[in-house]
């Protein structure tokens, strides 16, 4: 009986390794084809020339800290992928065939936004992994973060933090308050679900997740969080007749 159990265990381990190797091979092919069709330099140049591109220097420091805390804690030190996160995610995806695990770094998310579809397929995960590793060899972290912030989808038709800042709050990214910046940091995970003009309560719940992560990382103190939550709870929808857009504004101001 023990021999049978051992044989089954070894078979499953071997099958898992072979499956990962197969998807890795298919992912590399997909990555190579994508990069050959649109080289990094071409894509980066195109993004940086867009009107809605925001450089790293123009991004609020609180927004940068919030995104790294909730999306990719080891962003500043990893080589494009997080060994801990990607190993856990890939093992779960392969063994359950559910494709539900996250674990993507900011660089991987950027590669997904630029080169691959949003379908949760294992070969796509490998493709974005290979792309992220190569991309990090050519571009520094500030450039990568700025590209991510300028291409991420924030819901309500807004792509990039500039469109999101103007679209939701009627202001430029560098004018965002801490509460506004942290709210935006949490949206790309599920932009339609957390759209603050549609699902205010879910949006604030997601914002609290970001705040909790930032507290755990030592970025914010409890009194900071209370102040930010107080401001967020005062957001309400205001329809601008001038712009014909719904804005999130504080109860003591308006957008016109």
Domain positions in the chain are: 2-145, 156-249
| Burial group, residue 111, by CB count within 10 angstroms (0-12, 13-18, 19+) | buried
pLDDT of res. 91: 61
CATH class (in words) of the domain with range 156-249: mainly alpha
3-state DSSP call for residue 178?
helix
Cα 112 to the center of its chain, rounded Å: 10
pTM of full prediction above 0.75 = yes
Residue for token pair 């935006």: 184
pLDDT of res. 28: 74
* Cβ-Cβ contacts under 8 Å for 101 (sequence gap 6 or more): 88, 89, 90, 92, 93
CATH class (in words) of the domain with range 2-145: mainly alpha
Tokens representing residue 149 in the block: 């912030």
Would you say 105 and 82 are in contact if contact means Cβ atoms under 8 Å apart? yes
What distance in Å separates the CA atoms of residue 73 and residue 78, rounded to the nearest whole number? 10
pLDDT of res. 89: 62
Note the helical H segments in 139-187: 141-151, 161-169, 178-185
pLDDT of res. 34: 84
pLDDT of res. 210: 98
pLDDT of res. 127: 87
What distance in Å separates the CA atoms of residue 240 and residue 222, rounded to the nearest whole number? 35
pLDDT of res. 64: 98
Other C-beta atoms closer than 10 Å to the C-beta of 13 total 10
Would you say 35 and 137 are in contact if contact means Cβ atoms under 8 Å apart? no
Q: What is the pLDDT along the chain (256 residues), one digit of tens a residue?
A: 767 676 676 756 776 676 666 666 667 778 778 888 999 999 999 999 999 999 999 999 999 999 999 999 999 999 888 877 766 666 665 555 555 545 589 999 999 999 987 666 677 788 888 999 999 999 999 999 999 999 999 999 999 999 999 999 999 999 999 999 999 999 999 999 999 988 889 999 999 999 999 999 999 999 999 999 999 888 876 656 566 566 676 654 544 5
What distance in Å separates the CA atoms of residue 212 and residue 229, rounded to the nearest whole number? 11
């Amino acid at each position: 009986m023990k021999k049978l159990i051992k044989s089954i265990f070894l078979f499953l381990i071997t099958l898992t390794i072979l499956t990962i190797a197969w998807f890795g091979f298919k992912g590399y092919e997909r990555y190579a084809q994508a990069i050959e069709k649109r080289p990094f330099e071409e894509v980066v140049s195109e993004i940086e020339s867009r009107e809605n591109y925001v450089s790293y220097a123009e991004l609020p420091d609180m927004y940068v800290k919030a995104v790294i805390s909730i999306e990719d804690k080891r962003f500043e030190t990893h080589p494009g992928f997080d060994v801990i996160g990607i190993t856990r995610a890939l093992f779960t995806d392969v063994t359950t065939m559910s494709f539900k695990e996250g674990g993507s770094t900011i660089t991987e998310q950027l590669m997904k936004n630029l080169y691959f579809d949003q379908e949760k397929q294992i070969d796509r995960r490998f493709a974005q992994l290979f792309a992220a590793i190569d991309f990090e060899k050519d571009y520094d972290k500030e450039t990568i973060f700025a590209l991510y912030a300028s291409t991420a989808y924030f819901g309500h038709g807004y792509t990039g933090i500039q469109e999101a800042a103007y679209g939701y709050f009627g202001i430029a990214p560098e004018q965002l308050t801490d509460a506004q910046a942290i709210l935006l940091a949490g949206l790309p995970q599920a932009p339609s679900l957390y759209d603050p003009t549609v699902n205010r309560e879910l949006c604030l719940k997601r914002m609290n997740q970001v705040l909790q992560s930032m507290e755990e990382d030592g970025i914010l103190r409890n009194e900071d969080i209370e102040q930010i939550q107080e401001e967020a709870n005062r957001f309400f929808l205001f329809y601008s007749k001038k712009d014909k857009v719904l804005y999130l504004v504080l109860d003591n101001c308006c957008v016109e």
